[in-house]
Amino acid sequence: VLLPETLHAYGPWVEQLRDDPARAGERAALAQALLQHKAHTTALAWLAGATVHAILADQFSDQGQLTHNQLQALVKMSRDKALQADLPGQALKRTPVVSLEHLGDTREWAAPAAGSRPIFDAAPLEDQRYLVALGESGVMVVDAAGTMLFHFAVPAQKIVIAHSRQVALVLIWRGNVWRVSKLDLVNRVAKDLGMLAMDVFAHAFDGSNWTIGKGPQLRVVDVDRGFETLWHVSDLPESVRAIKVDEHNEYLWLSAPGGCLMLWHYRLPERRLVSRESAFDIVATDFQVPSATAESAQYRIKHDYGTPTLILKQHGVRKRYRLPGNLPEEEWDESVSPFLFEDWLLISYRVEQHDTCWHVIHRASDRLCVTLHWPQSPAQLRRLGSDLLLFDGQGRLSHINIDNASQRNISLH
């Protein structure tokens, strides 16, 4: 919070915000906050004048998030007569949007500074907003700067987001059951749905129908009708280990005795069984990647060439990905976590005693597009369409957008 009477004391902070190329999102959020003030005071003019040139540069480099009218209003607030005279009367010509896989070089990004509120789960919403689960402290919707827009007094450790991003379920563990609540993010209403006994559940749903599993049973329940069962399979050959869903597909990982896995693929919305992959031994075939697709893959760590290398095997093809750092010379390390998608591969691995590095790799070209250093607390990952969210228990949240090759960092307080 910047108070008008003490603004000049924040000069060094404002200079850092102005000069850091990676903080375009924070500059845009500051501009939006300034434009909410109708009275153009001297203090606000000083702050607008200190940042407006950097915000204009963001617009030219296609990192800006303001309309032309908002830019004109910000320039007017800055009281910079020369800039007002030079600003074109029409919208600035933007450079073409470049997606992450088409970048010419690898982006080296850093995690945000630690916040003061642990993040248990997070999901991206529309309009540069985020839904954040805070455990017993409830759920918040925050803007691009991490400012709270509204709060739900509902305890939450997990988020199940609707494909529309307008509705969500939030869950918290209570002994041997999950307490489930539904959030209407448009009308800002929370409703307690009761308790559910389940081992696994889908982390996304269509707003009404939700897939859950317990033992060898799979159910689709209507969250608006007391978890009424709409579809079920009660005699799966093995217990459900994980459920992955998108708008058109549902993937089941089944755990079999002896450390084996099976993979089932259903097509939505008709819930037609598309494929059923036979059991394979994850010990005999290296370590299983928790894939978000209907295809299994295995990996192991090799140290044959000095730099540790992750060997990924899929469809009989092996690919190597270098992991510079201080990994122990073992074929498996619990700090190495590959996340496999149809189009992207993300790898998290330890580089120091408590720090990790994330690699974002485009699978079709095998290009390393982003490296992201994450200090201290390990980060969790959620992907929703072109949005990648990384967050941790120390209040850090980093949003990478694949379509426009951007990063936004938030420290939650």
Q: Is 160 exposed, middle or buried (0-12, 13-18, 19+ CB in 10 A)?
A: buried
pLDDT of amino acid 279: 54
Q: Is 43 exposed, middle or buried (0-12, 13-18, 19+ CB in 10 A)?
A: middle
Percent of the chain with pLDDT over 70: 87
CB-side exposure of 337: number of CA atoms within 13 Å?
13
Average pLDDT of the chain to the nearest whole number: 87
Residue 401 phi, psi (nearest 5): -105, 125
pLDDT of amino acid 306: 74
One digit per residue, the tens of pLDDT, for the chain of length 413 reads 555 555 666 778 888 888 887 788 788 888 888 888 877 778 888 888 888 899 888 877 767 777 878 888 888 888 888 888 877 766 556 667 789 999 989 999 999 999 999 999 999 999 889 999 999 999 999 999 899 999 999 999 999 999 999 999 999 999 999 999 999 999 999 999 999 999 999 999 999 999 999 999 999 999 999 999 999 999 998 899 889 998 999 988 888 766 667 888 899 999 999 988 765 544 334 455 545 555 667 788 887 767 888 888 887 888 999 998 776 666 556 778 888 888 999 999 988 778 999 999 999 999 999 999 999 888 999 999 999 999 999 999 999 999 999 999 999 99
**Structure-derived torsion over alpha carbons of residues 187, 409, 108, 342, reported in degrees to the nearest 10:** -20
In whole angstroms, how large is the CA radius of gyration of the chain? 24
d(CA 386, CA 239): 31
Cα-based distances in Å from 389 to 51, 147, 342, 368, 406: 27, 17, 17, 18, 12
**Hey, which bits of 223-297 come out as E strands?**
228-233, 239-245, 249-256, 260-267, 272-281, 287-288
d(CA 30, CA 291): 39
Query: Model's pTM, two decimal places?
Result: 0.79
Bridge partners of residue 167, in order along the sequence = 184
| Domains of the chain with bracketed CATH | 7-86 (no CATH), 100-411 (2.130.10.10)
Bridge partners of residue 264, in order along the sequence = 252, 276
pLDDT of amino acid 111: 95
d(CA 148, CA 150): 6
Strand order in the sheet with 380-384: 380-384, 387-391, 396-401, 406-411
pLDDT of amino acid 8: 63
pLDDT of amino acid 311: 87
Judged by DSSP in three states, 14 sits in: helix
